[in-house]
Amino acid sequence: MRIDELDAKIVRLFSEEQRMSVLEASRILRVARATVQARLDRMTSSGVIGSWVPQPEPRAFGFPVVAFCFLTINQDLGHDAVSKALADIPEVIEVHTVSGDSDLLARVAARSNSDLQRVLDIMMATRAVVRSSTVIVLNTHFEGRTLPLLEAAARG
């Protein structure tokens, strides 16, 4: 979908102040309320805005350890069965099929390093994962950074 600078301004405004009303946004942007609403609807229906759902922060509710796991899977099961098995583990936050030496990349949250070992053991116990290589995140500088990309796309 083609976006423009007004679309980017609308997304930035709602990203910075998620509880803002459409009317308030229209006043700040100096455009009609219907324009803001129509653009939000268009960006939502096309998938540019993927979600209006709050994103819980694992660190804030007791899961400060984040790790990335490079997984080699049981090829006989196939990716769908493996991803379903991993989806049953609440600590597995994301799973991506990747190129390279591994089959999948999973982002995992845990309460501690020893709890991370428990999660890895659960992943291996599914028999869907044959081998894993894990790196623990020491510090997160930023994440979920898509707004600058949207703004750059809007500028052309």
Residue 78: pLDDT over 90: no
Inter-helix orientation angle 33-45/22-29, to 10°: 110
Q: pLDDT of 25-68, one tens digit each?
A: 999 999 999 999 999 999 999 999 998 888 899 999 999 999 99
Q: Tell me the CA end-to-end span of the chain in Å, nearest whole number.
A: 13
Q: pLDDT of 86-143, one tens digit each?
A: 999 999 999 999 999 999 999 999 999 999 999 999 999 999 999 999 999 999 999 8
pTM: 0.82
